[in-house]
Structure 1
Amino acid sequence: MKNKKIFIVLLMCITLLIGFLSACGQDTDSNNSTDNDLEESEEKHEKETKTFEAANGTVEIPSHPERIIVVADSYVGYFLTLGIQPIGVSDFSMENRYFEGKLDGVESIGESNNPSMEKMVDLNPDLIITFNDANAVENLEKIAPTIAINYGEKSYKEQLKEFGDMTGREKEADEWIEQWESKIAEWKPKIQEIVGDQTVSILSPFSKGIYAFGHNFGRGGEIIYDEFDLKAPETVQEIAIDSGEGWADFSLETLPEIAGDIIFTCPWSGDEADPEHVYGSKLWEELPAVKQDRVIELDPDAAFFNDPTSLDQQLDFIIESLQNNA
């Protein structure tokens, strides 16, 4: 009888011990599960965001941003080329005829140098693209991760590749560059043969004189000088192109010196000066290009843009113009 009681007590102890060990195992599994969930969550967060080196420092951005506001006019067409329609752009971008039909449903945020902060907050962006202005960036960063860009620091091909990397659209960037270079390779020798040794200038009257544009400041310069490698007047080549600036301003008196055998021109879109102080002057009327009807008029708003979407259409215009006027 005594032995039977001892056996029962031992059996109860063993049962309790097994239950205790089982509970410990469950706690361990639970802790491991929690740790695994935490690791998976952290890994997922890392995949959903990435860091990007911008002019305003290291910025954490979505890996695949979907709601992008492009404050800086110059970069809207890059995103369109990548197959991304921004949710908000400036008024000036809305006026670019090269974007016609591509910004349907996109909201205007006002002027690029003074956008509506309230409008942008309402749009709930996950990424904002802007020029590198410290005061503007500081305000925009309160709304969403903001990438600031130094205009002209990269070529348009480099800039497209950067945006492709930023948005996970590397393939689309490479495809555009490939087709673009194919078109340039086809047309460059034809245009060089048509133009020959003639010089080409890109001029815009403004309130204090004349701007001459070079190889990287819009108005078709990227195509005329950089891709087709056409000759600029010597002074323009030295001051606007070789300097790397992409533009230079001149007084009216220097017009004969900076005017090429072929002139692309439009009023400067940055002020409201009357362009007739140049176009109506005797100096202008006496230029060989004017007398020989080799002046090609640019759209003053659209000519500002040098993004891939705009360049595609500018290329067609420049080719046709040079075929008809050279």
Structure 2
Amino acid sequence: MTRRPLAALAAAATALTLAACGSGDDSADTAEATGGASSDSAFPVTIENKFGTTEIPAEPERIITIGFNDQDFVLALGGTLVGERELIGDYDATQRPWAQDLLPDDAVPTVGSDELNLEEIAALQPDLIVGVYSFIDQSVYDQLSEIAPTLAQTDEYADGATPWQEQTLLTGRALGVEDEAQELVDEVEGRFEQAVTDNPDFAGQDIAVDLTGLGGSGHYLLGQDDLRTQFFSDLGFTVPEASTELSAERLDLLDADVLVMNGYDQAALDADTLVAPLGAVTEDRTVLIGQYSSPVSAALGFGSPLSLPYLLDQLVDPLAAAADGDPATTVEQPTS
């Protein structure tokens, strides 16, 4: 399989942490309400994707997810997983609380991590392969399509930047539960709308989402081409157009109205003598998501209709404190 670029590697690394807190139960209730409602009348299904056409003749009963977050979308919509891609990083993704009530009783076999194992995929005899957030190329797609119908991202978005709403609806179509997928999108969007209403200060403020510890200066500014920034855009913040690795001379780009540091806790920030003096830090306009093994970092990486409600519970209050324009306001950092 083709090696992914730095942004994709970072996405995979962060997509590995999830967390415990109140919204997990709500998400499970939502999934139970929307999942498992597919009908034979919905099939056959034809979906155009970046590499060709996905033709699904009947309701899928054996689904393999090859993306770094696709399992959440399938579970949320009542699909049955028989295999999934192993996530890269320190966090045990099987512990993600918002999916606990939806996970199979037995461990789901994995079919590779950075590299997909096509033989293992074929051996599991899937009738649908889902890889909207998989970073596969045409060659791999063609090989997978010989095994089973394969759902890939469309060509409307950059690799890895399909909005969660679109990913939910694509997955819903593939599973024959398009109406239920729309209901799930509407419900989660309602949570965002309430957060926006409660926090008008978010609108139009520039936000820098920093992925730390990767090459060069160790800082990577995420843009609209990375799914993790969509969480902040949906709250009204303004995000840079494109992701970019920052040299030590351009760390000033982190000094936005609000700075979010993914991969840093307070100790790591204090030790970074180049970032610690920035105004966003000294004026307490910084939200620390934590190390990549933290559940909040993983929730941001998954960016799914299961993880996003949890993330709203964790980050809206810290973001509000960081965005209020008052340096005296203490930002209470998120806790798992």
| More displaced stretch, 137-146 vs 158-167 | 137-146
2:56 corresponds to 1:61: yes
Aligned to 1:181, which of 178, 189, 192? 189
Report which of the two has the higher share of helix.
1
Query: Corresponding residue for 2:164?
Result: 156
Call closer, same or farther: CA 1:98–1:211 in 2, change over 3 Å.
farther
Pairwise CA distance, 1:197? 7.1
Whether the 8 Å contact between 1:71 and 1:129 is mirrored in structure 2 is yes
What secondary structure does 1:73 align onto?
A: coil
Aligned to 1:84, which of 79, 84, 100? 79
Query: Corresponding residue for 1:214?
Result: 223
Distance 1:199 1:49 in 2: 45
Whichever residue aligns with residue 135 of structure 1, its letter is S
Whether the 8 Å contact between 1:91 and 1:111 is mirrored in structure 2 is yes
Aligned to 2:314, which of 307, 310, 317? 317
Query: Corresponding residue for 2:145?
Result: 141
Please give the residue correspondences for 1:1-326 in structure 2 after superposition, counting only pairs within 5 Å: 49-92=44-87, 95=93, 97=96, 100-101=99-100, 102-104=102-104, 105-130=106-131, 131=134, 132-150=136-154, 151-152=159-160, 154-193=162-201, 195=202, 199-205=206-212, 206-209=214-217, 210-215=219-224, 217-219=226-228, 221-225=229-233, 227-231=234-238, 237=239, 240-241=240-241, 245=242, 247-267=243-263, 280-298=271-289, 300=292, 302=298, 303-326=300-323
Whichever residue aligns with residue 119 of structure 1, its letter is E
Pairwise CA distance, 1:109? 1.7
Whether the 8 Å contact between 1:77 and 1:307 is mirrored in structure 2 is yes
Pairwise CA distance, 1:79? 1.5
| More displaced stretch, 82-91 vs 99-108 | 99-108
Pairwise CA distance, 1:54? 2.3
Call closer, same or farther: CA 1:298–1:47 in 2, change over 3 Å.
closer
Kindly report structure 1 stretches of 4+ aligned residues shifted beyond 6 Å: none
Distance 1:145 1:198 in 2: 43
Give the alignment's TM-score, normalised by structure 2. Answer: 0.67
Pairwise CA distance, 1:319? 1.0
What secondary structure does 1:282 align onto?
A: coil
Call closer, same or farther: CA 1:108–1:208 in 2, change over 3 Å.
farther
Greater RCO (CA < 8 Å, at least 6 residues apart): 2
Whether the 8 Å contact between 2:255 and 2:278 is mirrored in structure 1 is yes
Pairwise CA distance, 1:157? 1.4
Call closer, same or farther: CA 1:134–1:256 in 2, change over 3 Å.
same
Pairwise CA distance, 1:175? 0.9
Give the alignment's TM-score, normalised by structure 1. Answer: 0.69
Distance 1:46 1:103 in 2: 27
Whichever residue aligns with residue 117 of structure 1, its letter is L
Whether the 8 Å contact between 1:88 and 1:106 is mirrored in structure 2 is no
Pairwise CA distance, 1:216? 5.1
Call closer, same or farther: CA 1:200–1:87 in 2, change over 3 Å.
same
Whether the 8 Å contact between 2:111 and 2:118 is mirrored in structure 1 is no
Call closer, same or farther: CA 1:85–1:230 in 2, change over 3 Å.
same
Call closer, same or farther: CA 1:316–1:161 in 2, change over 3 Å.
same
Count of aligned residue pairs for this structure pair: 261
- Percentage of identical aligned residues: 25
Whether the 8 Å contact between 2:162 and 2:227 is mirrored in structure 1 is no
Deviations 1:121-144 (A, max 9, x none): 332210112334123223323322
